[in-house]
Structure 1
Amino acid sequence: MTTVSAETKRTGGARVVVQKFGSFLSGMITPIIPALIAWGIVTAVVVNIAEFSTGWAPAEALSETVGPMIHYLLPILIAVQGGMMVYEMRGAVVGAVATFGTIVGSDWLLGEDGQIHMFIGAMIMGPLAAWLMKKLDALWEGKIKAGFEMLVNMFSAGILGFVMIIVGFFIVAPPINWLMEVLGNAVAFLVDTGLLPLTSIIIEPAKVFFLNNAINHGVLTPLGVNEAAETGQSILFLLEANPGPGLGILLAFSFFGVGVAKATAPGAAIIQFFGGIHEVYFPYVLMKPALLLAVVAGGATGVGTNMVFDVGLRAPAAPGSIIAVYLQAPTSSWIGVGLSVILSAGVTFAVASAILLSSRKRDLLATEDGFSAAVAKTAANKGKSSSHLANLSAATQVPAQKITNVIFACDAGMGSSAMGASVLRKKIIGAGIEGVTVTNKAVASLPGNADLVITQQQLTDRARAKEPQAVHVSVDSFMNAPEYDDVVELIRESEAQSSGSGSATAADTTDTRESSAGGVATDTRVRSETQILTRSQVRIHAGSATQDEALTEAAEILGAAGAVTGEYLSAMKEREATVSTYMGNELAIPHGTNDAKSAIKASALSVTRYDGGVDWSGEKVTFVIGIAGVGDEHLEILSKIAELFSDDAEVARLKQASTEEELLQLLSAVNAS
């Protein structure tokens, strides 16, 4: 769990744009890496059999699969994944068709001059065709006469696929051929002049700030695949995957670090080197930015060693584990690859050790350990939750007192915190822990006597100012955050370490509570006579929507129910600009800021299901539940919704409901008093 403040995410800025672009490319490439590995294995088998059995018919027959796999199968799989990310299976189909036109167009242009494998073409045409399909469907959604939907859907996709074949063949293929030639010549120049190690100046810092995916999947993987198809291996696959620099950093901290960083480094080294999870060493570098010099020096050493021994990999090594690296390395490259890892780790260790020793006295005298802040910054840079970073953060927390008063805090105290509190209560009860109060509040209303405060990352600074003595846990989503299990363990540890003198209890708070059967205090709610959720407030859409469209619809439903005024939509958008209301399990619960209370006239919910999905600040959402709450009237119903959406089986049932009436019936428990 992330336990200190994290930077507020901004929608603008070059770093965020590059990071999102890289993450999208990674989302297309990573799922098809097993196919790349399979292609590499087929290639290795064919080559090895050919060496020992010249002219063996089965080997020659098997070799016929190598070319079509790399030239057709892999790019089309990328296009399918890219189209799926934009518009599910409908987008995947038109994306694959469009990419086929680009592949054939490239071959037609090159003629006898060879082939360029259209990885970049697939990364363009797959999402582009899917996006166009999505926009076309939106034009006539709800306007097709009953009985003609399938006819229109089938022919519109087919016609668009045909058009995109033409676009790919004549318009997209020529510039991609030119671009691949330019990039290939640039890499050849760096290799011929011995300057390829200088790429570490860009790649190693980019890894630490999660900006490497754009370089790796946008440039290195397509070029590496082309080179490997021609020569059987590519050094480009080793520019980023080498685990040596990360190992060197973690070994240096194991010997010369201080505090929590020193204690966690050995375990992180095992995860990084053998598990291939490189992100676990990023906080150690961010803790001392001068260590960027160490990873750059180590990375350049590894690249230089690979050049000297003329080694490479058959396909990308994913994850970047030493095991994955060796599985992808031809036997002729084993010695060179091994030396590159050893030397890069050694150089990084030497430079990092010198940096750590130069500041060791100052670090030992420091009153605060900066490691937890570095973990939080790494999590913020990544932009989404990571169980590996969460485990590093958990090691920084040592409860000073028994934890009995846990508060979930969100911006308005209106929805997300109430749902998170419900999920954690259930986990604590299930763990058999008693005497722990779990409540929710707005950040501005924190009372100052909490033992543990849970917030979204963007709100931790504000919460820490209100509750400086508390343990602070930051999460990305309140619904199914992996940090909840760590919180349960923290509570258990605090009980074990407690001297029995006790600490703040439920009696210290101003809320009226009653004890549940599991020993976890819950808020006593005053319920309204009217229903908060009615049939008119439930909708199902077969297509997708933008986040703005979903927010507008939620506000319109709440307005039609007489729950809010017209100003509430602006407050909902303001809330999203500050902190996302994405909860996990395909659920978002948009609501206004704490300052928007005057725009709420009555308590109500809206439930809208978008079967085509909504891109909610980078997360896929199917259910959008708008919230308006007067006092605490809506909180009990949110607790019940939290229980529903924390259960994957229940979410699946809600997604399968065919009508609004059926969906309301499945949600009927939330309206029960």
Structure 2
Amino acid sequence: MAEKGFRTSVQRFGGFLSGMIMPNIGAFIAWGIITALFIPDGWIPNEQLATLVDPMINYLLPLLIGYTGGQLIYDKRGGVVGAIATMGVIVGADIPMFLGAMIMGPLAGFLMKKVDDLFQDKIRSGFEMLYNNFSAGILGALIAGIAVKLIGPVVEGLNNVLAAGVEFIIDAGLLPLANIIIEPAKILFLNNAINHGILSPIGVEQVTEAGKSILFLLEANPGPGLGILLAFAIFGQGTSKSSAPGAAIIQFLGGIHEIYFPYILMKPALLLAVIGGGVSGVFMFSLFDAGLIATASPGSIFAVLAMTPQGNYFGVLAGVIVAAAVSFLIAALILKTSKSDDRDLSDATDEMESMKGKESSVSGTLKQDGADKAAENEKTGEQEKTAERTDEKSAESINKIIFACDAGMGSSAMGASLLKNKFKKANIDIDVSNTAIKAIPDDADIVITHKDLTDQAKEKLPAAEHISVENFLNSPRYDELTERLKQ
């Protein structure tokens, strides 16, 4: 129980970090393109356009992160104060303040919320605008001043310690070992906490000094996932074999890495394959001194190549190809030597649904402990099935369906697209969209999430009907919902 609680806490932390970074990825990419094109060593050097590089990284990007962090806590009011506070850490340090923005933005939004909780109800009618403007201005000025004098230098020192640690690992040739942590973290949906909380901020700082950073390649490398899916396409069984080729296209070209997570969850030994692929890929990146100029998001091969600077294409492609090859070979060996009666995830899910009548939202994904485990899952599923009936909404009352994930831009977008297509074929006119867990709208009637995130979604909007899925891209719950709404 304690382990599950810890994992949930880390997932929420990762989701919050992702919620600050992901909406602003376009700005990071714009900065990366301008840097790659117009700096003196760029593709088409231009002295005037190159003057955009420093202001964007020193001011625009941290301010966007700070505003978004404050907005996540306390809407636009928190966002404005978050941006003001972020300006304080920017002025108080001599390095790009991404880490400072991720601290000050949410902190300022939280403090603004607390101030309003104390005073807003006590303001006389007609003075609301005066209070709103001056309270935000006074609080923002105070926090910005404190940030300049105290928080900025502290965060700069912390950032320097983290950067020195990463540099030590790189110089010692130990960076490939980082994937021993990163690859399992991805499968547990903790990748955002690592990627956006640690790797990207330090990576951006390295770009300002060296023009590129290998850290952008650690989590975004599509090679390990491609190797897993290719192994299933050749050596898999049942649904996993038939679905793997399409999943490989979505993962490698579309950059939705979450699509290969269920394939590993149903056979945990495959963690060795993605770890081996990740380690060998980073070794190749290090060997050829390869790096990217900005975050590659989503982790598509197109995004990776778009962020690759001149002279690094061979090293980047070598790392991706070697990672895919190593992951494929290890996965193939595991699949070939597995027991012949092993079932894939979809087969196990179908069998479970036939016994229970519908999919359990928290039933075990792996089902490998024999009859005792199956009986335990059966009991849990029956309890949840009864609970789900009580919050199932009538078709007439459903006007908005929301898919939610950590950042609201990856797997949830794919799930929403699939359900829209099913609704279109069934002539169902109901709004379907996707968003981040933190931004689920209050008027959502049904919220669809991965089963690991359903508890968070219920806390955010308990009045909605919540549907859990194990795989956003291949869930029978979509057909069930479509049939229900047709009737």
TM-score with structure 2 setting the length: 0.76
Query: Is 2:13 the partner of 1:26?
Result: no
> Cα–Cα, structure 1 residues 105 and 49, in superposed 2: closer, same or farther, change >3 Å?
closer
Q: After superposition, what is the alpha-carbon deviation per residue over 1:620-654, rounded to whole angstroms, capped at 9, x for unaligned?
A: 979969xxxxxxxxxxxxxxxxxxxx9xxxxxxxx
Report the counterpart of residue 336 of structure 1 in structure 2. 315
Report the counterpart of residue 246 of structure 1 in structure 2. 225
> Cα–Cα, structure 1 residues 342 and 35, in superposed 2: closer, same or farther, change >3 Å?
same
Runs of 4+ in 1 over 6 A off after TM superposition: 9-12, 48-53, 371-381, 619-625
Structure 2 CA distance for aligned equivalents of residues 271 and 13 of structure 1:
32
Amino acid at match of 2:62: P
Report the counterpart of residue 280 of structure 2 in structure 1. 301
User: 1:180 Cα deviation (Å)?
Assistant: 1.2
Match of 1:357 among 331, 336, 353: 336
Report the counterpart of residue 276 of structure 1 in structure 2. 255
Moved more, 249-258 or 136-145: 136-145
**3-state SS of 1:245 partner:** helix
User: 1:67 Cα deviation (Å)?
Assistant: 0.6
Q: Which runs of 5+ in 2 are unaligned?
A: 364-383, 402-411, 429-436, 446-454, 465-484
User: 1:141 Cα deviation (Å)?
Assistant: 2.7
Amino acid at match of 1:88: D
Correspondence 1:301-320 to 2 at 5 A: 301-320=280-299
Structure 1 CA distance for aligned equivalents of residues 69 and 196 of structure 2:
13
> Cα–Cα, structure 1 residues 103 and 617, in superposed 2: closer, same or farther, change >3 Å?
same
**3-state SS of 1:320 partner:** coil
**3-state SS of 2:122 partner:** coil
User: 1:10 Cα deviation (Å)?
Assistant: 9.6
Match of 1:411 among 387, 399, 424: 387
> Cα–Cα, structure 1 residues 287 and 161, in superposed 2: closer, same or farther, change >3 Å?
same
Query: Quick check: 1:277–1:321 contact (8 Å CA) kept in 2?
Result: yes
> Cα–Cα, structure 1 residues 619 and 71, in superposed 2: closer, same or farther, change >3 Å?
farther
Match of 2:205 among 214, 219, 226: 226
User: 1:47 Cα deviation (Å)?
Assistant: 3.0
Report the counterpart of residue 442 of structure 2 in structure 1. 586
The percentage of counterpart residues that share the same residue type is: 49
Match of 2:69 among 82, 85, 91: 82
User: 1:73 Cα deviation (Å)?
Assistant: 0.6
User: 1:167 Cα deviation (Å)?
Assistant: 2.2
Match of 2:266 among 284, 287, 297: 287
Structure 1 CA distance for aligned equivalents of residues 419 and 42 of structure 2:
52
Structure 2 CA distance for aligned equivalents of residues 192 and 78 of structure 1:
30
Match of 2:137 among 158, 171, 175: 158
Match of 1:118 among 97, 117, 130: 97
Structure 2 CA distance for aligned equivalents of residues 12 and 623 of structure 1:
21
Query: Quick check: 1:86–1:130 contact (8 Å CA) kept in 2?
Result: yes
Q: Which runs of 5+ in 1 are unaligned?
A: 1-8, 54-58, 108-115, 382-407, 428-475, 493-517, 519-579, 590-615, 626-645, 647-673
Q: After superposition, what is the alpha-carbon deviation per residue over 1:20-47, rounded to whole angstroms, capped at 9, x for unaligned?
A: 0000000100111111111111111113
> Cα–Cα, structure 1 residues 91 and 48, in superposed 2: closer, same or farther, change >3 Å?
same
User: 1:380 Cα deviation (Å)?
Assistant: 6.5
Structure 1 CA distance for aligned equivalents of residues 340 and 312 of structure 2:
43
> Cα–Cα, structure 1 residues 265 and 373, in superposed 2: closer, same or farther, change >3 Å?
farther
Correspondence 1:506-525 to 2 at 5 A: none
Q: After superposition, what is the alpha-carbon deviation per residue over 1:533-588, rounded to whole angstroms, capped at 9, x for unaligned?
A: xxxxxxxxxxxxxxxxxxxxxxxxxxxxxxxxxxxxxxxxxxxxxxx9x9x75237
Q: After superposition, what is the alpha-carbon deviation per residue over 1:185-236, rounded to whole angstroms, capped at 9, x for unaligned?
A: 1111111111100000000000001011111111101100000111111000
Report the counterpart of residue 143 of structure 1 in structure 2. 122
Q: After superposition, what is the alpha-carbon deviation per residue over 1:162-198, rounded to whole angstroms, capped at 9, x for unaligned?
A: 1111221122222211211111111111111111000
Q: After superposition, what is the alpha-carbon deviation per residue over 1:459-508, rounded to whole angstroms, capped at 9, x for unaligned?
A: xxxxxxxxxxxxxxxxx9xxx9975975998x99xxxxxxxxxxxxxxxx
Query: Quick check: 2:281–2:323 contact (8 Å CA) kept in 1?
Result: yes
Q: How many residues align?
A: 412
Structure 1 CA distance for aligned equivalents of residues 325 and 9 of structure 2:
34
Q: After superposition, what is the alpha-carbon deviation per residue over 1:409-434, rounded to whole angstroms, capped at 9, x for unaligned?
A: 662855x313357549x99xxxxxxx
Structure 2 CA distance for aligned equivalents of residues 250 and 374 of structure 1:
24
> Cα–Cα, structure 1 residues 260 and 192, in superposed 2: closer, same or farther, change >3 Å?
same
Moved more, 291-300 or 352-361: 352-361
**3-state SS of 2:298 partner:** coil
Structure 2 CA distance for aligned equivalents of residues 274 and 304 of structure 1:
23
Match of 1:200 among 164, 179, 186: 179
Query: Quick check: 2:74–2:113 contact (8 Å CA) kept in 1?
Result: yes
**3-state SS of 1:188 partner:** helix
Match of 1:61 among 40, 48, 51: 48
Report the counterpart of residue 468 of structure 2 in structure 1. none
> Cα–Cα, structure 1 residues 247 and 140, in superposed 2: closer, same or farther, change >3 Å?
same
Correspondence 1:324-403 to 2 at 5 A: 324-359=303-338, 361-363=340-342, 369-370=347-348
**3-state SS of 1:140 partner:** helix
User: 1:323 Cα deviation (Å)?
Assistant: 0.2
Structure 1 CA distance for aligned equivalents of residues 43 and 345 of structure 2:
64
Report the counterpart of residue 15 of structure 1 in structure 2. 7
Which structure features the higher share of strand residues? 1
Report the counterpart of residue 470 of structure 2 in structure 1. none
Structure 2 CA distance for aligned equivalents of residues 373 and 203 of structure 1:
33
User: 1:336 Cα deviation (Å)?
Assistant: 0.5
> Cα–Cα, structure 1 residues 225 and 261, in superposed 2: closer, same or farther, change >3 Å?
same
> Cα–Cα, structure 1 residues 487 and 153, in superposed 2: closer, same or farther, change >3 Å?
closer
Amino acid at match of 1:20: R
Which structure features the higher share of helix residues? 2
Which one has a bigger Cα radius of gyration?
1
Q: After superposition, what is the alpha-carbon deviation per residue over 1:90-119, rounded to whole angstroms, capped at 9, x for unaligned?
A: 111100000100111113xxxxxxxx2110
**3-state SS of 1:332 partner:** coil
Query: Quick check: 1:260–1:371 contact (8 Å CA) kept in 2?
Result: no
> Cα–Cα, structure 1 residues 274 and 11, in superposed 2: closer, same or farther, change >3 Å?
same
Report the counterpart of residue 112 of structure 2 in structure 1. 133
Amino acid at match of 1:246: G
> Cα–Cα, structure 1 residues 421 and 345, in superposed 2: closer, same or farther, change >3 Å?
farther
Structure 2 CA distance for aligned equivalents of residues 374 and 315 of structure 1:
44
Match of 2:80 among 84, 93, 98: 93
**3-state SS of 1:117 partner:** coil
Query: Quick check: 2:360–2:385 contact (8 Å CA) kept in 1?
Result: no
Query: Quick check: 1:120–1:222 contact (8 Å CA) kept in 2?
Result: yes
Query: Quick check: 1:409–1:417 contact (8 Å CA) kept in 2?
Result: no
Query: Quick check: 1:586–1:623 contact (8 Å CA) kept in 2?
Result: no
User: 1:61 Cα deviation (Å)?
Assistant: 1.6
**3-state SS of 2:291 partner:** coil
Structure 2 CA distance for aligned equivalents of residues 305 and 76 of structure 1:
35
